[in-house]
Chain A
Amino acid sequence: MMMFNYSHQWVGDKYGGENINSALLIFDYFKEAFRLNRANKVLYRPQLVLVLVRVLLLVGLGIGAWSWMGGGEFTNLVEYGPQDWRELVSLALGASMALGGTFLVYFLVSRLLEAGLFNMFKSAVKTGKVDSQAFWQGVSRYWLKFLLGDILVAMIMLILLPVRGLVGLVTLSAGFAIFGIVVSVFLMFWKVSLVWNDKGIIAAFGDSLGFARDNFLAVFLLFLTRQAFISPVSGGNFNTSSTNFNLGEFPNGIGYLEGQVVVDSLRLLTAIMIPVIIIIVVSLITMIFQVFFGLTLFVAYKRGFNPEEEVGPDVV
């Protein structure tokens, strides 16, 4: 078990020291997370699998779209338009099934990997190294709870959407963003609490709420810092539109020449390969931050943002 030296200059009471001293501990938790991260490269494995799943699903969707667009159904649709409303409904249903199915598979697999990974985080933070059984233990214990918890959070957010919209309207949009941030801050630790204490979903929600309430400034700053690195629009202003297939570029079967097969195959390869490379690179970069901040959350939860427990604080 590693020991960490937390001695540094603390901020005195006249400067509102209590809150900021808790927030300053974030940097100590970063140190601890960084060490654990370096010592346990195995933590990247579940994330690497997730990257692979993302790529496979994307390629699957791309090939599916390609096959459909190269077929007669699509050609007829483009040339003559939809025959009747049933064709349109069937088209929309087919597209929804394909996208919904892909999303469902991704949701199930990502929660499975997350459950295992969180148990690996717990093992690393508790003992300094990851237990070999931690991943599968985590999957069997927490997968279902993570699934149900995430569905519950999504439902709560959906129910609160009118309230959020109203708050946004009254505050000229400011409240809309703040509402989302505050809810996220209070729920940031529910999965950590669930895994750390082996609790139920509702108890974990309550615990996360209490933890964020007791250490609001610190948890709030940690949330914003984490979001800055792992949110989809962070980093290089990652724009999802740049990763989408440009459907307009796809050959659609009209005036299709035999000699163009090779050229079109190359176009298909490029059309699939470029988004795939982007997804892989961005996922790998984000993965580093996700593992680091995941560990930080566990370290923070274990330590509890409590400067008074640290030895010999040097107050200035």
Chain B
Amino acid sequence: MWFEELMEDCKQALALTWKNPGVLLPWVVQTLLFVVLGGVLAVALGISVVVSIVRSPEPGYILQTLAPMLLAIPFVILAVSLLNAFFDAGGINLLHSVVQGERATAKAFWSGAKTYFLSIWGVRLLIAVVMLILSPLLLVLGLLWSGTVGILTGGWGITIIGVIWAVFFSAWPIILIEEGGGGLRALRTGFRLGRHYFWGMFVLGLGALMLGQHFSSAFGVLLTVIIGWIIAIAVRVWFRLTLFLVYSRHREEIQ
């Protein structure tokens, strides 16, 4: 039965996460890097504002000084997407080696980052472009959905949208690394996995979402800031390891 299979995979994934805490490292480094870069950008922005105020307190002058910074926004988004793809490619390959019974090594991380970085970034770019094209329609539908189903279900309707997205679009990076084929093929296979194993993926996606939210914020504001993000990473790693096991189990049926 699908639920029993899913629980078996969840259990194995938790055992693997526990035995290999090193698999959390790529995303811990990634988060710290973002915190440092974000901090540097915020300080740079603050200094620019202060300097321009000291030079001339005219609002027009301040805006003129800050305007070039707005041009930097696309570059920041690009840099963040590239870093995300890099760490995900290496990190998921690390998970792949752990699922294969190997040790989590730096070599596995670098090998994955080199091999799959472009494919992962490319597929994400494609998804972002499609979403951008569809954004007016998605915005209208989203507002309608949130204003009706979202409100009447006390927010569950909005959560469900996120879970359904996870059902169809969360497995493709795992499939890409497991199969080693192209990104688009992985995207299609991930979609097929979602269709074939809908309820299993739904429960897994819902569980990961709810646990990630609750585990990281259950211990009060201070601990949320200090360790909440590490717990959120651990839940995400567990979720991805489970996806590896789920895909391995259903691989033959959806090919």
Residues of chain A whose beta carbon lies under 8 Å from any beta carbon of chain B: 8-11, 15-16, 20, 23-24, 27-28, 30-31, 34, 168, 171-178, 181, 224-225, 227-229, 231, 234-239, 242-243, 274, 277-278, 281-282, 285, 316
Contacts and interface: CB of A to CB of B under 8 A. Distances in A.
Interface residues of B, number: 32
Interface stretch (B3-11, B56-64, B107-115): B3-11
A173 B7 contact: no
Contact of A177 (B10, B150, B152, B218): B218
Interface string B1-22: 0011001101110110011000
A228 B211 contact: yes
B157 A236 contact: yes
Contacts of B159: 235-237
B104 to A, nearest CB: 13
Interface in B65-92: none
Contacts of A239: 154-155
B8 A235 contact: no
Given A224-B214, A235-B155, A278-B151, A24 B14 contact: yes
A176 B224 CA distance: 13
Interface in B191-232: 210-211, 213-215, 218-223
Interface in B158-193: 158-159
19 contacts: A8-B12, A15-B19, A20-B18, A23-B14, A27-B14, A31-B4, A34-B7, A174-B220, A178-B220, A227-B214, A227-B218, A228-B211, A228-B215, A234-B214, A239-B155, A274-B151, A278-B151, A316-B15, A316-B19
B34 interface: no
B153 interface: yes
B11 A236 contact: no
B18 A236 contact: no
Contacts of A277: 152
Interface string B141-154: 00000000011111
A242 to B, nearest CB: 7
A286 B128 CA distance: 34
Nearest to A20: B18
Contacts of A16: 18
Contact of A30 (B7, B154, B155, B220): B7
